[in-house]
Each structure stands twice: as structure tokens, then as C-alpha cells.
Amino acid sequence: MADRILLIKLGAIGDVLRTTFLLSALKEKYPGCAIDWVTEKNAVDLLLGNPFIDNVFVIGDKINLKYSKVINLDEDERACKLAGSIEGEIVGFYWDKGIKYTPTAKEWHDMSALGERPRNDELKRKNRKTYQQMMCEVVGVKWKYQKPVLVLTPDAVEFGKTFSEKLEGGKLTIGLNTGAGGRWKLKRLSEEKTAALADRLVEELNARVILFGGPEEKERNEKIKGMCDYNLIDAGCGNSLMEFAALVNLCDVLVTSDSLALHIGIALGKKIVVFFGPTSPWEIELYGNGVKVFRENPCLCCYKEKGIGKPTCDTYVDVGMIVDAVL
């Protein structure tokens, strides 16, 4: 009888997407296995249509199926309690009067927010393994540069096609996603630097530049457009998840913070330039398709959501570094 595996990964949305690289590795190790996935409602669209997934459940759904293996990669109480409630071999994190972990997950736990402080932060800064390498070690599969999988829906493809009709043909298309939603303010590139970057990309590469953003960044993007000497193409800040992905797919090069757009760009095989502030550049796997922009500094890999005073994280990233990376 073939294995049936339940994989639990709730969030963040970008982490859900990048974790899909594991699916092909699991299929290789357990030939003929069926794989189901439990996630948050806001991440479901990223998993639908994935040829490696049999069923997608939202956390809280009743699951009546039996599993030979339950893989939980989230140190989240709901995820851990779910993992502990299902019969089958548990890998990763589970609940037993608190959040516990299986032996292969110890290294990841020790450098996580639930690890012993301040040792966890020290281990995080010293780590040079990618997220993918770490997850392979947790799950017990071989790391062979398996790629994440994102399948655009027909509606999303049509949306991208319609939007592309606004674009001038024959020009290099560069996407700018320099915000990072509402939570991670220190991941952002400032409005001033974003505008200067957009102008230089137009001047030096004769590129058409698409400005991306989420619902929290509408006002920010209006400021950026007002600071630019050249017109930007506004992707809008009210797109659905799949529409956003379809617009990223129009880019020849995506310049982005360490955010959801990064993981979408990677999954779609885009050329990537990613700049870093408070998160680890070493954990990101670009699959040979990109350049990481950062300087060693006290802020790098601090994992703080908000800064106090100056300098801020983007002090250590200048426009010239990003232009050089795009070139």
C-alpha cells in the first residue's frame, strides 16, 4: 500500500510557496505516495493545481483520512496540536503539553523564535544553510535543488495577458517590489531610494518599470510615483494573490525585498535581484537565477520588525548596488 503523507505548513504565505520544493523530493523517496497539505485559507490558491498535491485542507477542517506520515514544519500551536492528533509517524513539530520537536527538527528549532535566547539569534546569524537544505534535513529527503511549484490559474494568465497589452513592446521589463507589507517595515527600501532606482533603470537600461505593492502600500506607491522623473507602470495594490503572481510573471527581472514577491518570482523562474535588511540572505535559495544585495552590518539578520531611530536597515543598501545587480 502506498504511503499517504500529510504536510502541515500554515504560513507565512511566501514560506508556504517555497516549501512546495519538498513535494518532488517526497515523491522520489516514497514512490506512488499521496500528499495532502494543510495551510491557512489565504495560502490555498498557491497550492491549487499543484500536480504533486492530492488534497488541500484549511486549518480547522475535519480530516478523516489516515496517514502513514505527518510532517509539520510550523512551530504553531494549532499546527502542532493537529499533528499530534493524527495517527501516523510525526516528523517536525507536535504538541505534548507544549510545542515539542522530533530529533531532525532540533537545529531549526534552536535558531527559531522559540529557541533559547540569545543563543537562537546567534545561531541564526551564523547559519549558512538555505531554508531548503534545512527542511530537507528535517524531513529526511535529499536536497537536489528541487524547485518550488506555482501553477497560475487560467483566469490569472488571462489577467496578465490583458495587463501586458498596456506595455510597450520590445523593452526590458523590470518589476520593483520594494515594500514588504504591513509587518516587516525594516525589509523595505525607502520611497526616496525606490524612486531613484526606478529613474536610473529607465535612464541606463531604457527599461519599462512596473511598481508593485500590496493593499497596505497604496499611499507609499503614490509617493514613489510622485518622486520619479519618469512614468512608472502601476501594477495596482488591490490585486488578488493569483493576479499579483501573473503580473510578476510579466517581468524580465524582479527587484524585490525578502517577501512574498521574491518567492513567487523564484517559483516562476524569474531573474531576481533581492536586497536584505533584517533577514538572513544565506537562507534564500535563488537557484542560480539571481543576485543577493546586502552588506555585512549590525542590522543584518536581526529579525526585528521595527527599528528604533537611525540607521535603518536600508541604510546599508544603496541604489548603485541594486543597479549593478540588475545589470
User: What's the pLDDT score for residue 1?
Assistant: 66
More confident residue, 166 or 153: 153
Lookup: cell for 63: 480530516
Side-by-side strand order, sheet with 89-95: 55-58, 34-39, 4-8, 69-72, 89-95, 99-101
Angle among Cα 143, 149, 155 to the nearest 5 degrees reads: 175
Work out the pLDDT band at 127, boundaries 50, 70, 90.
very high
- What mean pLDDT comes out for the span 228-232? 96
**Model confidence at 308: pLDDT above 60:** no
| Every domain of the chain and the residues it spans | 4-139, 163-326
C-alpha 165, offset from chain centre: 28
- The pLDDT mean for the chain works out to 95
User: What's the pLDDT score for residue 185?
Assistant: 80
C-alpha 176, offset from chain centre: 16
Side-by-side strand order, sheet with 173-177: 233-234, 208-211, 173-177, 253-256, 271-275, 290-293
Residue in 224, 189, 148 with CA at minimum distance from that of residue 318 = 189
Q: Answer whether 188's CB lies under 8 Å from 178's CB.
A: yes
Report field, pTM of the whole predicted structure over 0.85: yes
Angle among Cα 131, 68, 94 to the nearest 5 degrees reads: 55
Other beta carbons within 10 Å of 195: 24
User: What's the pLDDT score for residue 311?
Assistant: 61
Topology of the domain covering 4-139: Rossmann fold (3.40.50)
Class of domain 163-326: alpha beta
CA distance 14 to 43: 9
**DSSP label at residue 2:** -
- CA dist list (Å): 43 to 222, 259, 266, 319: 28, 14, 17, 33
Lookup: cell for 140: 529526511
**Model confidence at 125: pLDDT above 90:** yes
CA distance 27 to 43: 22
Q: Do domains 4-139 and 163-326 have the same CATH topology?
A: yes
**Model confidence at 2: pLDDT above 90:** no
pLDDT tens-place string over residues 262-296: 999 999 999 999 999 999 999 999 999 999 999 98
Sign of the CA dihedral 3, 4, 7, 8? negative
Q: Is residue 118 reached through a cis peptide bond, with omega within 30 degrees of 0 on the bond before it?
A: yes
